[in-house]
């Protein structure tokens, strides 16, 4: 089930599903240590002797308040004659989840309404050895294990302690969970339980007819009892509503501190642009890791999650944030990654938010031979994104300590890690993590990475080193034209692989990742070979039917639901088509690209969350939701369109409005042009 409402401050991340159940709670890292692990932490309502957990019986509208990371949730139950207006937020500064529930009584007479908040924790990702207990000092319920403490509390009509609570065992024979205790409207008051445990908190409101009253729930996270009790005291002294307001104000200020000319686009496109930036922030850890996606339901597919840092995904997300004028998270990301570079000069598959190596299925040993289990595009795109960050902000003092240990070391690796026969980057794993070979996407990324490294060397006055990187980039471009372009198919191939006999085998499967051949500067968007390739991809990968969108590649089996389509539509692949249409440079391309951006807004969840892929027949989200990469690609494509519109209207007010975003600066633009001319001048094919 998708996560419709993620909320985070960089340390505490919570995710709500479409039933308004809290399903994931990460602390102290975004994406590491999920203390709920997909269980359902529910909101229940008792009135007039009837009880209901919020879910299918309720009409639910799950949105965010505009331009902020505070929710705007409406819940209506016709039979109970109740309308709930809920606001949720993770405090921007302290590790506290805050929830406000405004209960509107739609009946003419006053009624007593009881609200119940269930908390089903599996601390540190397992439900062994947890303790839940009533804490008399705070008047709340404390869950703890090891150095992880969570203190839950609530206010209704009484604001000096809980009116009802219960803790107990769960998941045992005859003990489904303490949350069942709420269904008669009364809680047992059991004060402590250990092992596999959960808890329920209850509050009471007397709501006049046709009127409303508010209740509050909060959850403080810390590493010891004193920390969470301090946070509990803070909520009580400041009031939950004031903390929610300051959090809403902070995110509104953050999103509006940069103002690209979104007025040139339809309002809904601009709204999703802002929402995408905010959702990106929920998936970024305070220590710099950019997570691919935090949705624990995917664990049922392959017993693992997307809660990791892939250097490639992170680099592209960092680039999107740089384009949007938000450099802090990219800087933290580059600092996070730099010490993780292997001695050889490459990044491995993926990493945990604390910087440790994450799980992997890429082997170190294959067919009797050792190998580097890498996706080389990850290494190249970090260097490429770092250059574009420097182009935007010229923060030389930030770049200086990264220049030798990251930029030059990675570039030296890219120069050395080449196939001896073709001169192209040596075999590595593809961006889809399914096959190993000489990959067109990787070739484009390595070209971009080496070009970026050459530019860095020019900035730091190392002309000979810059020339070396330029020459290798030129050789790679020559060999790409010779080996990857296939005249018989009028298309670039997806990859080359070695047969057991050592011969090169060509894989011509249409694959959306061929976008990488022009995205990082290897070829231009108006190159006839790129045009022919993209035309073939559009013809073979566009999903027929009412949903539409571009599949990853022909015959994609991942979450496949119908043999009648080439694969499920992916947001990133569809947006890559828009990128090409804009790079093609004609008015028809602009119009079609805008249609694709509108298609994305039409297929986002009502909250604005973008999944990884869609069901090709129903349009329902599939796989991880939200996917950080989807939102970053949307942001990047919007900026590509805005730049195109600004160039087109060179003498209009549109260009003046967008002038601050016309980066790089003149001297960097000249340097970039000179370097590209030099590389292309060295090319022979």
Contact present, 191 and 133 (Cβ < 8 Å): yes
Q: Are strands 550-551 and 569-570 parallel, antiparallel or unpaired?
A: antiparallel
Looking at the DSSP assignment, which residues form a beta bridge with residue 118?
A: 200
What pLDDT digit, counting tens, does each position of 582-632 carry?
A: 999 888 999 999 999 999 999 999 999 999 999 999 999 999 999 999 999
Q: What is the CA radius of gyration of the chain?
A: 27
Pairwise CA distance, residues 386 & 456, whole Å:
10
Alpha helices (H) in 507-569, listed in sequence order: 516-519, 528-541
What pLDDT digit, counting tens, does each position of 265-319 carry?
A: 999 999 999 999 999 999 999 999 999 999 999 876 667 899 999 999 999 999 9
Pairwise CA distance, residues 674 & 668, whole Å:
10
Enter the tokens of residue 68: 């902020």
Q: How many CB atoms sit inside 10 A of residue 333's CB? A: 27
3-state class percentages of the chain: helix first, strand second, coil last, to nearest 5: 40, 25, 35
pLDDT surpasses 70 at 36: yes
Residue 430: closest CA among 448, 414, 444, 413: 444
Q: Can you give the pLDDT at residue 651? A: 44
- The burial class, CB within 10 Å (0-12 / 13-18 / 19+), for 394 is middle
Q: Which letter, b or e, does each residue of 341-374 get, where b requires 16 or more Cβ atoms within 10 Å of its Cβ?
A: beeebbbbbbbbbeeeebeeebeeeeeeeebbbb
The continuous run of DSSP H or E covering 317 comes out as helix 311-323
Looking at the DSSP assignment, which residues form a beta bridge with residue 485?
A: 492
Region of 400 on the Ramachandran plot (φ > 0 left; ψ -120 to 50 alpha; else beta)? alpha
The model's confidence at residue 664, banded by pLDDT at 50, 70 and 90, is very low
Looking at the DSSP assignment, which residues form a beta bridge with residue 166?
A: 200
Q: Are strands 148-155 and 96-105 parallel, antiparallel or unpaired?
A: unpaired
Q: Can you give the pLDDT at residue 585? A: 85
Q: Can you give the pLDDT at residue 303? A: 75
DSSP SS3 for 290: strand
Distances, alpha carbon 572 to alpha carbons 262, 546, 549, 575, in Å: 21, 19, 10, 5
Q: Can you give the pLDDT at residue 672? A: 66
Q: What is the CB-side half-sphere exposure of residue 76 using CA atoms within 13 A?
A: 5
Looking at the DSSP assignment, which residues form a beta bridge with residue 204?
A: 114
Contact present, 311 and 305 (Cβ < 8 Å): no
Q: How many CB atoms sit inside 10 A of residue 464's CB? A: 7
- Residues 338-349 have a mean pLDDT of 98
3-state secondary structure 211-222: CEEEEEEEEEEE
Q: Can you give the pLDDT at residue 646? A: 85
Pairwise CA distance, residues 596 & 572, whole Å:
11
Enter the tokens of residue 65: 């308040």
Average pLDDT, the chain: 95
What pLDDT digit, counting tens, does each position of 372-417 carry?
A: 999 999 999 999 999 999 999 999 999 999 999 999 999 999 999 9
Q: Can you give the pLDDT at residue 11? A: 98
Pairwise CA distance, residues 619 & 623, whole Å:
13
pLDDT surpasses 80 at 662: no
Going by C-beta distance under 8 Å and a sequence separation of 6 or more, which residues neighbour residue 445? 312, 376, 377, 380, 381, 384, 516, 520
Q: Which of 161-170, 475-484, 497-506, 664-673 has the lowest mean pLDDT?
A: 664-673
What pLDDT digit, counting tens, does each position of 126-137 carry?
A: 999 999 999 999
The continuous run of DSSP H or E covering 250 comes out as helix 240-256
What pLDDT digit, counting tens, does each position of 185-206 carry?
A: 999 999 999 999 999 999 999 9
Enter the tokens of residue 81: 């004659």
pLDDT surpasses 80 at 649: no
Pairwise CA distance, residues 303 & 125, whole Å:
13
Provide the CA 631 distance to its chain's centre, in angstroms: 7
The model's confidence at residue 159, banded by pLDDT at 50, 70 and 90, is confident
Q: Can you give the pLDDT at residue 586? A: 87
Q: Can you give the pLDDT at residue 301? A: 66
Pairwise CA distance, residues 5 & 63, whole Å:
8
Q: How many residues does the chain have?
A: 685
What pLDDT digit, counting tens, does each position of 527-567 carry?
A: 999 999 999 999 999 999 999 999 999 999 999 999 999 99
487, 491, 492, 497: CA torsion to nearest 10: -80
Q: What is the CB-side half-sphere exposure of residue 567 using CA atoms within 13 A?
A: 25
Pairwise CA distance, residues 57 & 19, whole Å:
10
């Amino acid at each position: 089930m998708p996560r419709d409402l993620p909320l985070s401050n960089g340390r505490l991340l919570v995710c709500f599903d479409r039933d308004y159940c809290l399903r994931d709670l990460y602390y102290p890292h975004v994406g590491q240590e999920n203390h709920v692990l997909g269980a359902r932490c529910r909101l229940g309502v008792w009135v007039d002797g009837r009880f209901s957990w919020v879910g299918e019986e309720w009409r639910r509208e799950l949105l965010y308040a505009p331009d902020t990371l505070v929710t705007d949730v409406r819940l209506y139950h016709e039979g109970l004659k109740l309308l709930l207006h809920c606001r949720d937020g993770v405090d921007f500064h302290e590790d506290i989840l805050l929830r406000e529930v405004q209960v509107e009584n739609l009946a003419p007479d006053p009624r007593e309404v009881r609200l119940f908040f269930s908390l089903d924790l599996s601390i540190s990702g397992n439900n062994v050895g947890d303790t839940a207990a009533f804490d008399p000092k705070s008047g709340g319920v404390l869950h703890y294990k090891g150095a992880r403490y969570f203190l839950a509390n609530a206010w209704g009509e009484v604001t000096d302690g809980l009116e009802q609570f219960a803790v107990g065992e769960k998941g045992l024979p005859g003990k489904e969970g303490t949350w069942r205790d709420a269904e008669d409207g009364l809680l047992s008051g059991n004060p402590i339980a250990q092992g596999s445990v959960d808890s329920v908190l209850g509050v009471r409101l007397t709501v006049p007819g046709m009127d409303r009253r508010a209740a509050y729930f909060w959850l403080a996270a810390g590493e010891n009892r004193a920390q969470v009790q301090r946070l509990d005291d803070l909520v009580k002294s400041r009031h939950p509503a004031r903390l929610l307001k300051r959090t809403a104000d902070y995110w509104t200020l953050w999103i509006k501190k940069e103002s690209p000319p979104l007025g040139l686009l339809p309002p809904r496109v601009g709204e999703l642009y802002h929402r995408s930036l905010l959702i990106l922030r929920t998936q970024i850890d305070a220590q710099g890791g950019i997570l691919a996606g935090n949705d624990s339901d995917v664990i049922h597919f392959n017993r693992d999650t997307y809660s990791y840092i892939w250097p490639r995904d992170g680099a592209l997300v960092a680039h999107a944030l740089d384009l949007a004028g938000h450099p802090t998270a990219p800087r933290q990301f580059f600092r996070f990654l730099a010490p993780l570079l292997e001695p050889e000069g490459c990044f491995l598959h993926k990493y945990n938010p604390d910087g440790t190596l994450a799980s992997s299925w890429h082997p170190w040993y294959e067919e009797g031979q050792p190998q580097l289990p890498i996706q080389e595009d990850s290494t190249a795109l970090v260097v490429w994104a770092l250059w574009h960050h420097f182009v935007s902000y010229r923060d030389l003092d930030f770049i200086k300590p990264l220049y030798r240990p990251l930029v030059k070391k990675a570039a030296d690796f890219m120069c050395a890690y080449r196939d001896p026969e073709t001169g192209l980057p040596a075999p590595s794993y593809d961006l889809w993590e399914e096959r190993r070979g000489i990959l067109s996407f990787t070739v484009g990324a390595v070209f971009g990475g080496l070009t970026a490294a050459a530019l860095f060397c020019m900035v730091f006055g190392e002309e000979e080193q810059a020339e070396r990187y330029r020459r290798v980039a030129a050789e790679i471009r020559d060999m790409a034209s010779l080996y990857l372009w296939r005249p018989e198919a009028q298309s670039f191939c997806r990859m080359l692989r070695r047969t057991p006999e050592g011969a090169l085998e060509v894989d011509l499967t249409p694959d959306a990742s061929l976008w990488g051949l022009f995205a990082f500067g290897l070829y231009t968007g108006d190159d006839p070979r790129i045009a022919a390739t993209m035309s073939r991809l559009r013809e073979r990968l566009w999903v027929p039917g009412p949903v539409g969108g571009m599949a990853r590649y022909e015959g994609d089996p991942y979450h496949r639901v119908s043999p009648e389509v080439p694969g499920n539509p992916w947001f990133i692949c569809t947006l890559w088509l828009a990128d090409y249409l804009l790079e093609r440079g004609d008015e028809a391309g602009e119009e079609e690209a805008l249609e694709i951006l509108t298609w994305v807004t039409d297929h986002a969840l009502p909250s604005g969350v973008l999944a990884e892929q869609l069901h090709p027949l129903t349009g329902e989200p599939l796989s991880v939701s939200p996917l950080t990469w989807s939102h970053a690609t949307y942001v990047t494509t919007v900026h590509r369109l805005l730049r195109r519109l600004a160039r087109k209207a060179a003498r209009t007010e549109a260009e003046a409005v967008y002038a601050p975003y016309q980066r790089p600066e003149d001297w960097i633009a000249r340097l970039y042009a000179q370097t590209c001319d030099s590389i292309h001048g060295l090319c022979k094919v």
